[in-house]
Chains A and B, each alone.
Chain A
Amino acid sequence: MTDRTITDPKPADTTTSDLKTSDSTKFLSHLELDQPDKTFLDSNELVINMGPQHPATHGVLRVILKLDGEKVLGTECVIGYLHRGVEKIAENRTYTMFNPYVDRMDYVAAVSNGLGYCEAVEKLLNIEAPPRAKYIRVILTELNRMASHQLWLGTHALDIGAMTPLFYTFRDREEILKIFEKYCGARLTTHAFRIGGCQYETYEGFERDVIKFLDFVPPKIDEYEELLTTNRIWLERTKNVGVISRADAIALGVTGPVLRASGVKWDLRKAQPYAAYSDFDFEIPIGANGDTYDRYTVRMEEMRQSLRIIRQAVERIPEGPIMAKVPKVMKPPVGEIYHSIEAPKGELGYFIVSDGSTQPYRIRVRPPSFVNLQALDVMVRGALVADVIAVIGTLDIVLGEVDR
């Protein structure tokens, strides 16, 4: 019997509580701190802790900054405060029972999570959702993308200091959440889709509500842009801040608007279409510099393109069943599948290993925010402290997804 206990590389006496300068050598060994015995006033370098509780870290994220005055020399992210063991839970639930857990990862864009999971399991079962279900899925997913980007805009602007866009975006996001509530009963963690299609038929007046929303929102997006896009202070805070080059972005595996802002015109909805996206006509916005301002413009344009997709979908939604023939007891054959979708944050992937039983053998969620957050270190080297907060905001991370 081999000894299963594997010891960690560093002795387990570094607690994750208050960071004292003398402990920082163990924490930040890769940042090469010299003279560990000096107090912070003696050396030029300061180690500052942006603790798990912080108004601007979008959840429980801890960032340890090594500063030279105002300039950031290095960062280390400590995550895992929201780790709930979703992947372990998946091994103990059936495929259908696991569906609601999936919403709770990226709780801001729960519909996308559900879409990815349902499609992955459908692929494993080798079934396809009927066309009407696919259209409903597209409409709800794009509405969710819109809501996620609106939340991102409000919180990002708030971090940079503009207080008002937050309230405007939340007011408009309410309309989307009302549609979700009328459709499936929940606003945020919707559990909207089922394996094989949708459970709920669209409610009476769904198309009317969606079209009303489509007419209501474009002037609102213009309103947000009016406050921010040409504002001199906004430009100074976001241009050339948090630049990530195209090569770095690909090497670091960032996806989503972060990658597109660095100049890579790649979107899974176009590259490997899923769920009726191939029926629709839309653009993929890209940016030139890979700075925060480009990520901002890319997401604003994505909002408008989402509206375009929704309009096309709502006009052409086909009739028919909304649920495919799915066995009551789902036992996918032995095998593995990897399926990914373009979530608002990036490429959200599900790697499902099935052993032929009703419970998945292993589900691995490839979280876009986790991989994007890794790029934080590269993006803030040499920037100032205030930029760290802007960059965390622009990466659009959701800790539920980072930690799962």
Chain B
Amino acid sequence: MLNYITSYLSSNTTPGQAGNVFWATVYILVVFGGISVAVMAMNWLERKALAHFQIRLGPMRVGPHGLLQPIADAIKLMTKEDIIPAEADKFVFWIAPLIILCASFAVYIVVPFGPTHAITDLNIGILFMLGVSSLSVLGVVMAGWASNSHYPLIGALRSSAQMVSYEVAMGMAVVSAVLMTSLHGLGPYGVGVGTSGTGTLSMIGIVQAQQEQHVWFLFKFFPLGFIAFGIFAIAMVAETNRAPFDLPEAESELTAGFHTEYSGLRWSLFMLGEYAAMIAVSSIAVTLWLGGWYRPFPNTLTGDTWDLVFSLFPALTFLTLAAIAFVGVRRMPKHPYFRVQTIGLAGFGAVLGLIGLILFAPPVRDRIQDIFWFVAKVAGFMYLYIWYRATFPRYRFDQLMKVGWKVLLPIGIGVLILTAILGVVL
């Protein structure tokens, strides 16, 4: 038994490939927990960042600077009355959020946080991700149908039409990135034989192809990789029903969205699924174009010193966050009512600082690199999502569909063809 557990530690593959059920379970639990925490953090960040964009403060009371607000929201939603419309189809009503949730979470099996830090590495990884994330459309339609009210139904149909159309554009962009994995040359315009690229759909393989070709696919065949990335970046915002493509769920429009009739915990499952889907498609984008878990400039800035410099980033990030927390502590009002919050914020800062210090230790430092860079890139995307929501007005539904079919799809096909041509020529 113990052998079973320790034998994995010396292997060099993901638990899924090694067939080690124990470690696979551990990884699944860690990832599941991590995503849940990430969703809560994202909820907090969204409210605070949106508020600051709008020159207000956001949640400030529940915990210092609203840090405990997601927990309060979760408790509130869990203790709310569970209202089901009288004429609703009860089974479908119950299962719709579960389908969305399962579809959104199932894709994390293949998300690579590092060369061996994934639950498993299917050799059809990217195909699996696209396919499973499409299942959430089913959940959306079921939610709208089961509500037995024409506003949610119309909203659900719109939402599903939008998701389906943008998946096509996403697919085109993904295919051109996958095509790039089979190329041989090094650098942005890879000339000559440099690598033994054999083309792969596996997520880890795609990242390693970028490493072998010494270039992030973002810059490959510039501007083709960039355009493909741009298409994917726009399509992924539409895919997750976020601004500026959030007509189906906007409050000021006529149809109030497929989740109107849901309240309490069921509604929070929708939100959980939405944020999880956002993180999932962002990880696809990071894997395909942004070099996955590799640090910036892995091939141009080589050498031990540069490795050392970049390896200090995780620790420095946490120490910076701790410093910001301590600045916040200093700026707290000096009033007895604020004592608990001040102590809480100071404690939070201390924990962050402690983590930062731990990350300075060399054994931890080396292991944490991959995960840190991957998460940092995905976090950048999350911030962009919030930024889009604060800045852009909403697209009307027909304009939204027009952008998906008439603009993104032709450009995607064009990029794909040009990539193929360049791949053969160069």
Contacts and interface: CB of A to CB of B under 8 A. Distances in A.
B8 interface: no
Contacts, number: 79
B393 A157 contact: yes
Contacts of A158: 252
A162 B397 CA distance: 16
Interface in A55-75: 55-56, 65, 70
Nearest to A238: B393
Given A50-B254, A56-B252, A158-B252, A231 B56 contact: no
Nearest to B243: A161
Contacts of B394: 160-162, 233, 237
Interface string B65-79: 000000000000000
Contacts of B393: 157, 160-162, 228, 231, 233-234, 237
A146 B26 CA distance: 62
Contact of B54 (A160, A164, A233): A164
Given A40-B150, A55-B252, A162-B392, A70 B54 contact: no
A269 B389 CA distance: 40
A167 B254 contact: no
B304 interface: no
B411 to A, nearest CB: 15
Nearest to B402: A236
B244 interface: yes
B297 interface: no
A243 to B, nearest CB: 15
Contacts of B252: 55-56, 158-159, 161, 389
A389 B254 contact: yes
A55 B253 CA distance: 8
Contacts of A167: 54-56
Contacts of A70: 397-398
A385 B254 contact: yes
Interface string A270-286: 00000000000000000
Given A162-B391, A163-B389, A386 B54 contact: no
Given A40-B150, A56-B252, A163-B54, A386 B392 contact: no
Interface string B240-278: 000110110011111100000000000000000000000
B383 interface: no
Nearest to A388: B254
Q: Which of A50, A233, A234 neighbours the largest number of chain B CB atoms within 10 Å of its CB?
A: A233
Interface string A27-58: 00000000000001000001010100001100
B256 to A, nearest CB: 10
A233 B390 contact: no
A168 to B, nearest CB: 7
A387 interface: yes
A184 interface: no
Q: Which of B55, B252, B389, B393 neighbours the largest number of chain A CB atoms within 10 Å of its CB?
A: B393
Nearest to B255: A385
A158 B392 CA distance: 10
A388 B395 CA distance: 14
A384 interface: yes
A159 B247 CA distance: 11
Interface in B194-215: none
Given A55-B251, A55-B252, A387 B396 contact: yes
Contacts of A163: 50, 54, 389-390
A70 B253 CA distance: 12
A160 B393 CA distance: 6
Contacts of A384: 396-398
B53 A164 contact: yes
Contacts of A389: 252-254
Contacts of B392: 161-162, 231, 233
Interface in B357-397: 389-397
A237 B396 contact: yes
B7 interface: no
A231 B392 CA distance: 8
B55 A168 contact: yes
Contacts of A56: 252-253
A227 interface: yes
B399 A236 contact: yes
B53 A236 contact: no
A178 interface: no
Nearest to B390: A164
A161 B54 contact: no
A20 interface: no
A100 B59 CA distance: 39
9 contacts: A40-B150, A56-B252, A227-B391, A233-B392, A233-B395, A237-B393, A237-B399, A386-B253, A389-B254
Given A163-B54, A389-B253, 12 more contacts: A161-B243, A161-B246, A161-B247, A161-B252, A161-B393, A162-B392, A167-B56, A237-B393, A384-B398, A386-B247, A388-B254, A389-B252
| Nearest 4 Cβ contacts at the A-B interface | A161-B394, A167-B54, A162-B393, A161-B393
